[in-house]
Amino acid sequence: MLPLVTQGQEVDYDSLLQRVDSIENPVFKPVISFSYGITNFIGDVENSLYTPLTGNGAGMINVATFIDRKYRNFIANFYFLTGKLSASEYSTTDLSRNLNFETSLYSFGANVEYRFGHLISESSFVRPYLQVGIENINFSSKGDLFDVSGSQYFYWTDGTIRDQAQSDGDANLLYRDYHYETDLRKNESTQFGLGNYSQRSLAFPVGAGVLFRISKRTSFSLGATYHFTFSDYIDNVAYEGTSVSGGKGNDGFVFSYLSVNFDLFSDPTAVDLIYADVEFDELFFDDEDGDLVLDIWDHCPGTPYGVAVDTLGCPLDGDQDGVPDYLDLELESAPGVWVDEQGKTLTEEAFYASIESRNSAMPREEVEAYFTTIRDDYALRRSNEIPEKFLVLDEDSDGYVSFDELLKAIDLYFDFQVDLNIEELRELNDFFFSQ
């Protein structure tokens, strides 16, 4: 580790005392959403004029809560949807296909939403999402079969609507009033002895959208859901059981919407003062030798400026001969050999001679005493053994949790990238100071 500045290390004291904010208990704090959009019916009766932007208005109220409290990637939604469905089909070649209907729509349902949290940060401004769920829908289809005066509509091949069938000769022109006055199921029963179908159905909604984050408490969404229903009778035209026969397959509809989402109930923050129980002195932040390891954690204070050091603040010793690299004139001494004070390999004769003279080299077991002599506190301090659950945090495998490794563990905790709880984080903090 090389020093990066020529002056004493600048330390942001506030960063060590800063408040770490996070949403508390997100699973139990629901988010309320209000949506407005349009519905488009998909079934046997098709709109003769259709564009994705036309349709009937619909609104939805949604309550959302997180399913996975730790990572918050999956959301459960509970909603109520209400609006209308309608379609009007015109034909001059097949007069039986001049059909129309309108129904009020009520739906209660729930779905699971995935926001790609494994790939996109929760704090990102834009987050796509997918939804799949189940719901119960209620409908009651009406038809516009008569005008305001009670005259029945008869469609002619010239495209006009009259008050008599085309085969009956002259007739008066009529115009649709778009007042859906006729209960189609009752009309089927009265006119044809049919219409004995349920006006309730299960459905599977499948959707996608994009969420835009405005603030910690507010966001809005743009999305669409396709609702696969278990009914073929929403438009009163079915493959069987109605007077007009349709194709196989059930009816469905698309709901396209804009939502505004409010986090009204979550507590603003859960505040942890990571070092609240520690009284700091300014001397705590000194780095006298400028090696970027604070004196309080520096196991080798007084290292000459510019010398590369390890996470404990001690000069590097690549060949582990007891002589730091910056003093070592033989950087790759063989393991276990005797060396002199310059790190050069000694022969056995020279080693024994050094023991007798005590003027140059010394036995390796006296290296610790040697560093005590040339440094105020050069000896490595003995550390407590790292608990097994914290071993993964010792990235350089030196048997010591350094200050940098502690700070990184704290960052990973608040990014939900390390499997520790707050109590274990405090335990790690206590262990660090006990080393």
Render pLDDT for 146-178 as a digit per residue (tens, 0 to 9). Answer: 999 999 999 999 999 999 999 887 899 999 999
Higher-pLDDT residue of 53, 208: 208
Same domain, 135 and 278: no
Encode pLDDT of 259-271 as tens digits: 999 988 766 554 4
Strand blocks (E) in 230-273? 252-262, 272-273
Per-residue confidence band for 378, with pLDDT thresholds at 50, 70 and 90: very low
pLDDT at 404: 82
Same domain, 131 and 226: yes
Find, among 241, 242, 234, the residue nearest to 203 by Cα: 234
What gap in Å lies between CA 61 and CA 7, rounded to an integer? 60
- Give the three-state DSSP class for 369: helix
Same domain, 120 and 97: yes
Cα dihedral across residues 29, 63, 78, 250: positive or negative: negative
What whole-number percentage of the chain has pLDDT above 90? 44
Same domain, 76 and 65: yes
Residue 300 domain boundaries: 1-20+274-314
Same domain, 249 and 287: no
**pLDDT beyond 90 at 82:** yes
Q: Which of 43-52, 208-217, 413-422 has the highest mean pLDDT?
A: 208-217
Q: Is residue 79 part of a domain?
A: yes
Same domain, 10 and 29: no
**pLDDT beyond 50 at 372:** no
Higher-pLDDT residue of 126, 48: 126
Per-residue confidence band for 393, with pLDDT thresholds at 50, 70 and 90: confident
Q: Mean pLDDT, to the nearest integer, of 74-79?
A: 94
What gap in Å lies between CA 38 and CA 29, rounded to an integer? 29
- Residue for token pair 């909603």: 79
Same domain, 15 and 27: no
Q: Two tokens at 341? A: 């004070």
Higher-pLDDT residue of 312, 87: 87
Q: How far, CA to CA in Å, does 145 sit from each of 55, 203, 242?
A: 21, 29, 16
Per-residue confidence band for 53, with pLDDT thresholds at 50, 70 and 90: low
Q: Is residue 250 part of a domain?
A: yes
Q: Is residue 107 part of a domain?
A: yes
**pLDDT beyond 90 at 370:** no
Q: Is residue 406 part of a domain?
A: no
For 186, the enclosing helix (H) or strand (E) is helix 184-192
This prediction has a pTM of: 0.57
SS3 content of the chain, % helix, strand, coil (to 5): 20, 30, 50
Q: Is residue 102 part of a domain?
A: yes
Find, among 141, 152, 140, the residue nearest to 177 by Cα: 152
pLDDT at 11: 47
pLDDT at 341: 83
**pLDDT beyond 50 at 6:** no
Average per-residue pLDDT in the chain? 82
Same domain, 5 and 140: no
**pLDDT beyond 50 at 9:** no
pLDDT at 105: 97
Q: Is residue 256 part of a domain?
A: yes
Q: Mean pLDDT, to the nearest integer, of 225-235?
A: 97
- The least confident of 64-73, 111-120, 180-189 is 64-73
Per-residue confidence band for 1, with pLDDT thresholds at 50, 70 and 90: very low
Higher-pLDDT residue of 162, 73: 162
**pLDDT beyond 50 at 3:** no
Q: Is residue 376 part of a domain?
A: no
Q: Is residue 269 part of a domain?
A: no
Q: Mean pLDDT, to the nearest integer, of 414-429?
A: 80
Same domain, 44 and 61: yes
Same domain, 186 and 122: yes
pLDDT at 212: 95
Higher-pLDDT residue of 38, 430: 38
Q: How many domains does the chain have?
A: 2
Same domain, 119 and 214: yes
Same domain, 4 and 137: no
pLDDT at 352: 61
Report the CATH number that the domain containing residue 231 is assigned in CATH.
2.40.160.20
Q: Mean pLDDT, to the nearest integer, of 208-217?
A: 92
**pLDDT beyond 50 at 31:** yes
**pLDDT beyond 70 at 71:** no
pLDDT at 258: 97
pLDDT at 433: 77
pLDDT at 336: 76
What gap in Å lies between CA 115 and CA 64, rounded to an integer? 13
**pLDDT beyond 60 at 36:** yes
Q: Mean pLDDT, to the nearest integer, of 46-74?
A: 82
Per-residue confidence band for 385, with pLDDT thresholds at 50, 70 and 90: confident
C-alpha radius of gyration, the chain, whole number: 39
Higher-pLDDT residue of 414, 318: 318
Q: Mean pLDDT, to the nearest integer, of 325-333?
A: 87
